[in-house]
Chain A
Amino acid sequence: MTAAPASSPSYQGRASGNEDWAVTPARLEARSISKSFGGAFALKAVSVTFEPGEIHTLCGANGAGKSTLLKVMAGIHAPDSGELILNGDHLRGLTPRIAQKHGVYLVPQEPTLMGPLSALENLFVGIVPRGRLPFSVDWKAMERSAGRFFEQVGLDIDPRLPASELSIAQQQLLECARALAHSCNVIFFDEPTSPLTAHEADVLFGLMRQLRERDFTLAFISHRLDEVLAVSDRITVLRDATVVAGFDAGTATRAKLVEAMVGHAIADRQRRRRAAPDTETVLEVTGLSAPGRFSEIDFAVRKGEVLGLAGLVGSGRTEIAESIFGLRSATGRVVLGGKPFRHRSPAASIRKGLIYLPEDRGHNGVFANVELARNITAAVVPKLQRDGPLLRPAAEYEMAGHAAERTRVVAPSLHVPIKSLSGGNQQRAMFSRWLLAQPTVAIFDEPTRGVDVSAKEDIYQIIEAISDGGIAIVMISSELEELVFVCDRVIAIYEGRIVAEVAGEDITLEKLGTLAVGETAE
């Protein structure tokens, strides 16, 4: 498979012998792991065992806890409670470095290479072989052994190339090579395929299968059920921070997985039954295109209607919404309230009654250090009551308090910085901010991301109530069941194009599931 390994005095590891051999098998067990962020559980007493020579896939909706579990085992997050057991030994006080020393390596969703450093340096970062002089680096040993690792992962590049010049697929392979160079025998892949093309993904799967033959312990996360079914030896399904089902290869089917992922917790919530509103159109988008992101997007929303945008992360949903709101440029026509809306910007949109609740609350929504009340009134400051040029705090607090009450924000007081609230309450506060702006059209992008079950229910109720009140809503979500709950109509977007539209009782989980991955009705 490759040239004889060079011997280097200070660099020796499990994989540095003959790499056609299997590695030391590692059985990694997560026992009753719990972890919460800001009051919301990301993992609740989760137990999963990863066996050598297996590709073990974690499935679940966004926020189910899959990534968090891998991050806990790789030492990125410290668990609140629970144990990690590797071949019978308890692992404690893990940091990424200690986890790697134990042989556990996480290939993250987005490669985290150091862009300006060469591929070679990235490969050995943290375990740079020492030269003879103190503090020196044995560059020759690095160069001698690097080729071997690149070859094992099928990476054909100049090792001196800066990592930032590699493609995403090459960066991922470099991450794998780094795991091998660090002598790791447990490799986790956190949604590695989402940025890859189908061919690149196949290359990665080929590598994963090779590693499996060599007795590596492999974990994998993906939202694409077809690839999950194709590569997995074992599948564990998580939902709402707990393990809800486990399957062996062969026993899993697409239907069973979807059922487990969606679960019974939502069975008590039914699709809203009401006649589709037959009112005037308030937002009409025609031929909206942005090169490389989306093209020829046409849709219209009526007063009081809830229109869903279904599609995978990266399908262009968010970019479409951001273009309508004025955050990105795009060609095509947007008609808002019967008038063409050109020269779009957030400020202009808000003035004209169009609001956009962003997907990334942490970076694009909240003002973390600023108190709750001012977070709520942030988009309506020009409309606040004043004495001359001065704002009237009493009136402002009353308005913020009223809005917070309506969206069911729970907080010690209106003065606490918003970052001290849970994700659910931060999101409720974001809803009160945007509803204070008196929208006629509201775009909600992943409105329930990172919130707990009760906040989700509140958010559905808010959406139902304000749409009954006449606000037109465009709702973007990766959680297909919530589109089923609240939408009057859903359009499916795949790779930047509208591929299908379903309405009324035709909006079912199965239907949306197939449409979102680009398979139009058979």
Chain B
Amino acid sequence: MAVSQSLERMPATRGTSPQRASALRRLARRRELLLVILTLAVFLVTVAVNSGFGQGGYIAFMLADAMPLAILAVGQTIVCLVRGIDLSVAGTLGMVAVATGFLAQDYGSSVWLMLPLALGIGIGLGFVNGLFVVFARIPPIIVTLGTLIVYQGIQELICGSQTVQTLPPLYAKLGNGDFLPDIPYMLIPGVVVTSVVALLLWRTAWGRSLYAVGSSAEAAFRAGIRVNWVLISAYVVCGMLAGLGGLAFLVHYDSADSQSGLSTSINLSSIAAVLIGGTTLTGGKGGVVGSFIAALFLEVTTQAVIVLGVPQVWDQAAVGVLLLAAILVNRYQASGYSLRQALAGSRRRAPIEHGRAQ
């Protein structure tokens, strides 16, 4: 192999050198598998109590209902991988929903025309976030809290006192219709986005640099990676997906107003989905498939809570409990401690020089 010429000069190996582990063994340890099992378990238990939960129509509804969150969570994952966070996704979502919504309501604009517009607005808003994070060197949580408020202000400005409530029929069809029996149209953008981003993360130089920058920006810079460019691109892609999420939100709910995005607490849910999906806020670890499945898991769980007759006000509490449980599991997996130690909040101190990354 050409690239390793200089290595040929080196002394031969001795002892065991690292090999590729079997694909099956790696799959078994993945968070995604655990989440699929958990989701199915919640689903089956709920079906056992109330068989209506297992009907095709309800499944299709839940799949469609989870997609705005799933798309947002995929974007949020990318930002979390570079040790950032984007609190402005709800603002972007809301702004795109009302902007495209009013165009559709007032001019009957085609949804296909709205798609590039939604992505474009998202890219622009994400770019603003990225610029502030990279060049003003302001912590992402502050930048995006600020832009969240600004984006929501613009959303209210667009709305004035009006709401979007009458859309061309195609919108509702895409938002709630099925293209195959019990398989909603909404699933298409969610699955396409997740697979494309997963492929980008796994098999492109860009994906590789996201993990490197998130793990150690300084080490990445020293390895020749253009760190600023990578950071900005993460916020841009996140913004773009939030824009797509906004359009998905509009067609699914068939309406939008100045509170869209804010009232559904989709902002924090997107971060919850990222964490439950196995991506850490400390950067460099995780993936989008976990976030996608986590969004479905959250949907199934919150719907199950309703179906099981628990008052709907407990929805948010359920999400919170799941989030805390996921973080305990993260801790357990990251540390290699036993679960009992993780629960006990192990007092073992990490050596200072070695433990700084955690």
Contact = CB atoms under 8 A, between A and B. Distances in A.
Interface of A: 37-38, 76-78, 325, 327, 346-347, 349-351, 356, 358, 362-370, 372-374, 378-384, 389-391, 393, 397-399, 401-417, 419-420, 432-433, 435-436, 438-439, 458, 461-462, 465-466, 468-469, 471
Contacts of A389: 204
B10 A374 contact: no
B353 interface: yes
Given A78-B349, A370-B211, A432-B7, A405 B13 contact: yes
28 contacts: A327-B222, A346-B221, A346-B222, A346-B224, A356-B222, A362-B354, A365-B222, A368-B215, A369-B214, A369-B282, A370-B212, A370-B215, A370-B285, A374-B208, A378-B208, A378-B220, A378-B223, A381-B209, A383-B3, A406-B11, A408-B14, A408-B17, A409-B18, A410-B16, A413-B21, A414-B18, A414-B19, A414-B20
A382 B104 CA distance: 44
Contacts of A351: 224
Contact of B6 (A327, A410, A438): A438
A364 B18 contact: no
B247 to A, nearest CB: 26
A469 B212 contact: no
Interface in B335-358: 336, 348-349, 351-354, 356-357
B10 A462 contact: yes
Nearest to A397: B20
B51 interface: no
B137 interface: no
Chain B, interface SS category: loop
Given A369-B285, A381-B209, A435 B215 contact: no
B219 A406 contact: no
A399 B1 contact: yes
A367 B11 CA distance: 26
A380 B6 contact: no
Nearest to B207: A391
Contact of A408 (B1, B15, B212, B357): B15
Nearest to A433: B223
Contacts of B161: none
Of the listed residues A383, A397, A406, the one surrounded by the most CB atoms of chain B closer than 10 A to its CB is: A406
Contacts of A366: 215-216, 219
A370 B220 CA distance: 12
B64 to A, nearest CB: 31
Contact of B21 (A390, A415, A461): A415
Contact of B203 (A390, A433, A438): A390
Contacts of A416: 18
B15 A410 contact: yes
B18 A412 contact: yes
A192 B73 CA distance: 49
Given A346-B223, A390-B199, A401-B18, A438 B5 contact: yes
Interface residues of B, number: 56
B7 A367 contact: no
Contacts of A346: 221-224
B4 interface: yes
A436 B224 contact: no
Interface string B43-78: 000000000000000000000000000000000000
B7 A378 contact: no
B180 interface: no
Contacts of B223: 346, 350, 378-379, 433
B56 to A, nearest CB: 36
A77 B215 contact: no
Contacts of B10: 406-407, 435, 461-462, 465-466
A347 B16 CA distance: 33
Contacts of A414: 18-21
Contacts of A380: 3
Nearest to B16: A410
Contacts of B226: 347
Of the listed residues B214, B215, B219, the one surrounded by the most CB atoms of chain A closer than 10 A to its CB is: B219
A70 to B, nearest CB: 13
A319 to B, nearest CB: 15
A403 B26 contact: no
Given A370-B215, A374-B211, A405-B17, A362 B6 contact: no
7 residue pairs, one from A and one from B, having the closest CB atoms: A469-B9, A367-B215, A411-B18, A347-B224, A413-B21, A369-B285, A405-B17
A409 B222 contact: no
Contacts of B12: 406
Given A346-B224, A369-B284, A379-B223, A362 B7 contact: no
B210 to A, nearest CB: 10
A363 B218 CA distance: 7
Contact of A466 (B9, B14, B222, B351): B9
A487 to B, nearest CB: 18
Contacts of B220: 367, 378
Of the listed residues A417, A420, A432, A435, the one surrounded by the most CB atoms of chain B closer than 10 A to its CB is: A435
Contacts of B349: 77-78
Contacts of B225: 347, 378, 381
Given A402-B7, A462-B11, A364 B218 contact: yes
A389 to B, nearest CB: 6
Given A379-B224, A406-B13, A399 B18 contact: no
B205 interface: yes
Contacts of B16: 410
Contacts of B214: 369
B78 to A, nearest CB: 16
A521 B349 CA distance: 47
B356 A362 contact: yes
Contacts of A37: 351, 353-354
A76 B353 CA distance: 11
Interface in B182-221: 199, 202-205, 208-209, 211-212, 214-216, 218-221
Given A368-B215, A379-B224, A406-B11, 20 more contacts: A325-B222, A350-B224, A356-B222, A358-B219, A362-B353, A363-B219, A367-B284, A372-B18, A378-B208, A378-B220, A381-B225, A382-B205, A390-B199, A398-B1, A402-B4, A404-B18, A406-B4, A408-B15, A420-B336, A469-B6
A373 B14 CA distance: 19
B344 to A, nearest CB: 15
Contact of B13 (A408, A412, A439): A408
Given A367-B212, A438-B6, A471-B6, A413 B224 contact: no
Contacts of B356: 362-363
Contact of A407 (B7, B221, B224): B7
Nearest to B357: A368
Contacts of A393: 202-203
A65 B218 CA distance: 28
A37 B349 CA distance: 12
